[in-house]
Structure 1
């Protein structure tokens, strides 16, 4: 296996093809790919992070953020419903494994080549992202990490908010314009299917767990309101595909189940705390073909990340893949945090009480490698976004990774 950093330029995915060669032309486009920082920028970013770390959140508030994490996410989705994030159709470009309609062994048309973790050249994994795709991805990836960070409240207000939130508060289902009927209709269809099976004398095909008879099983952890799940189901009409999706927020899962495309014949959505490794999942170990983690691991306390990844890895089939995208170290969202928001090194709390961590490549190698997964790709997506109207430059850093469970 190639050592970390070896042939890094060749191993980069082929879609990052807009390079800024002339700095005077920076405002000619909305985004530039693979923009490296100079020494001054790098030093400035590190200094900003060091300064914020010197004024951490008090321990009692840190404990409250951990204990009431689900309440903060419920609050987030209660406010934003399904309007905050856009559907992630661009994921099929970055993760063509999610498109089952593509020819076996072939990927979409690409420019250039990519190397695997052994340094061997392989067919590229995605086409060049269009400007529209990049803008969609960038808007979503900005999320509340940067927007909420700009609207910081005083620490006294945070203390009041935490005090007023009742840990015993009951969850009320979200009302969504009567679209609950769609979920009911899906359950009715499943019941009719079950009756048809009984009538055909095939009772022995009854499922021990949802999706038992599926030929391909995917699981998205931290699914939010379904912005990944539903594009996958819409793109793949294979009846053999079954999707599982979970979220820490019961409010988010309510919204997923109210979606017009939700049907229990193809999808099973449930509330789950990933960090509770004793809580059962609705499928057996070694049963999943793909696990999807998009901006979810960063919301977990760093002390619980390794046990969470270890537990998830048990549910992958031999040869199964884990697809990952999340925040990278010194991303704009990290540098926008003000003093008093740092929980621990590179771990912060937003103004709405949700939390976020910023990763490095080596940290991902350690986390997933220790869980017994083999690295296929870890790509640092360094993108320069510009606001041409305001003449503002914004440097974004994300990590895109693929890991595979060994066959033996």
Structure 2
């Protein structure tokens, strides 16, 4: 009997999950032989029915004054969510390292070696101007920083292209959490640590440092009090992805990976572009932004009732949290406008199966990987 990984990721009997999009349903008679099937083709009738359902549940919108409440008190609704559920919904995302091998230990070091020429470190007399990045140090952050750090700057050679000469990227390594790490990962919208803890538990490399933030202070408290949390390797902090005035506690051009898993869909569509723009500035040239989120006409979208629609393809759940359903083109526009280059943008129409009840559920997810160019113009 095949196993089943959380969030719809099927596993083989031996526990190894097949690659994203590789389990195909060729014989409809075998639909209940596994718990999930990838890239299930929709009939014209099914697609038309989904369109009709979305039009139907969008005819009645949430009153404007209530929409204001959902925006102003968003932190309250998410705190209530985590206070109610705490760790009871924690799912070990076994599929992480299959779908995103960039997070795997073998990838962490020398991640940019295929992109960069041979590198050496040179000390420079001073760091970048304060206008180039956030004011990094607060008393709160000092307790998460390594002791005895010295003020110094690393210079990494960056290959622009075969016809252009090498330029240099300055990274200020003045004191900030993880300043001595050589490979840095940030998860935005970390929840209770579903992604962060598998990364930390899988990779013991002392040169790795993981940052994680969430809009909910309750979620961050649950992360920090988890027995797997290690402040010498991880820095968890409360952060509003849409707050343009609050800097990240990380300098620009310093992250190798940024992870967004079912989080971008939770914010107001009009604020998404600026949020991605800000995040892109934190990536090193060659760094990657990884996303997995809800696709248009996912089962969750089709289940909404009239009166739960905030705006086109944007809804509020019964608990006050919100969710948007993307197309591939929308996500491509968000990332490329932020100056990133497409590596992957896949839609998976997945068929989940409840074999006990003989039920089928059609999910639509999108998975993306976008890279910051080696010669980057995203810093303005």
TM-score if structure 2 supplies the norm length?
0.77
Deviation at 1:339, TM superposition (A): 1.0
In the TM superposition, what whole-angstrom CA distance separates every residue of 1:207-233 from its partner, at most 9, and x where no partner exists? 521111110111100000111111101
For residues 145-203 of structure 1, the C-alpha deviation after alignment (integer angstroms, 9 at most, x for no partner) is: xxxxxxxxxxxxxxxxxxxxxxxxxxxxxxxxxxxxxxxxxx99x79x73xx5xxxx76
More off after superposition, 28-37 vs 358-367: 28-37
- Name the counterpart of 1:47: 52
Q: Which runs of no fewer than 5 residues in structure 2 stay unpaired? A: 1-17, 112-141, 153-172, 376-380
Residues 338-366 of structure 1: CA deviation (Å, up to 9, x unaligned): 11111111000000000000000000110
**DSSP-derived class of the 1:254 partner:** helix
2:211 and 2:110 map into 1 onto residues whose CA distance is 25
Paired residue for 1:109? none
Residues of 2 paired with 1:308 and 1:15: CA distance?
Answer: 27
Match of 1:314 among 248, 258, 281: 281
What pairs with 1:288-327 in structure 2 (closer than 5 Å)?
Answer: 288-327=255-294
- Measure the CA separation in 2 of the matches of 1:102 and 1:372: 24
The DSSP-based 3-state class of the residue aligned with 1:375 is strand
* 1:380 corresponds to which of 325, 347, 352: 347
Equivalenced residue count is 308
Hey, what does 1:100 align to over in structure 2? 105
CA contact (8 A) 2:109 2:183 kept: no
Q: Is the 8 A contact 2:254 2:282 kept in 1?
A: yes
Asked if structure 1 preserves the Cα contact closer than 8 Å seen for 2:108 and 2:208, the reply is no
Give the equivalent residue in structure 1 for 2:215: 248
Aligned counterparts of 1:102 and 1:302: Cα–Cα separation in 2: 33
Query: Which residue in the other structure is 2:87 paired with?
Result: 82
Instruction: Please give the TM-score of this superposition, normalised by the length of structure 1.
Output: 0.72
Match of 1:225 in 2: 192
* Change in 2 beyond 3 A, CA 1:263/1:358: same
Go from structure 1 to structure 2 and tell me whether the alpha carbon gap of 1:332 and 1:285 turns closer, same or farther (over 3 Å shift). same
* Structure 1 residues 104 and 249, CA gap change in structure 2 (3 angstroms): closer
- The Cα of 1:89 is off from its aligned counterpart by 2.8
Note if 1:285 corresponds to 2:252: yes
Q: 1:57 to 1:361 in 2, by over 3 A?
A: same
Q: Secondary structure at the match of 1:305?
A: helix
Q: Which residue of 2 aligns with 1:72?
A: 77
Cα gap change, 1:203/1:358 in structure 2, threshold over 3 Å: closer, same or farther? Answer: closer
User: Deviation of residue 105 (structure 1)?
Assistant: 8.7
Tell me if the contact between 2:108 and 2:183 (Cα under 8 Å) persists in the aligned partners: no
Which of 216, 238, 246 does residue 205 from structure 2 map onto?
Answer: 238
Per residue, is there more helix in 1 or in 2? Answer: 1
Secondary structure (helix, strand or coil) at the match of 1:251 reads helix
Taking the aligned partners of 1:91 and 1:332, their CA distance within structure 2 comes to 22
The match for 1:124 is none
Gapped regions of structure 1 (runs ≥ 5): 1-12, 107-186
Which position in structure 2 is the counterpart of 1:353?
A: 320
Cα distance between partner residues in 2 of 1:335 and 1:294 = 21
Matches of 1:105 and 1:278 in 2, distance apart? 34
Residues 183 and 255 of structure 2 are in contact (CA less than 8 Å); yes or no, is this contact kept in structure 1?
yes
Residue in 2 aligned with 1:328?
295
- Structure 2 CA distance for partners of 1:313 and 1:104, relative to 1, 3 Å: closer
Which of 368, 372, 375 aligns to 1:405? It is 372
Cα deviation for residue 204 of structure 1 reads 5.8
2:124 aligns with none
1:156 counterpart residue number: none
1:323 aligned counterpart, secondary structure: strand
| Structure 2 Cα separation of the partners of residues 243 and 327 of structure 1 | 25
Q: Is 2:347–2:367's contact at 8 Å kept on the other side of the alignment? A: yes
RMSD: 2.1
Query: More relative contact order in 1 or in 2 (CA 8 Å, sep 6+)?
Result: 1
Measure the CA separation in 1 of the matches of 2:110 and 2:79. 41
Structure number having the greater strand percentage: 2
* SS class of match (1:276): coil
2: CA distance between counterparts of 1:233 and 1:75? Answer: 27
1:366 and 1:303 map into 2 onto residues whose CA distance is 13
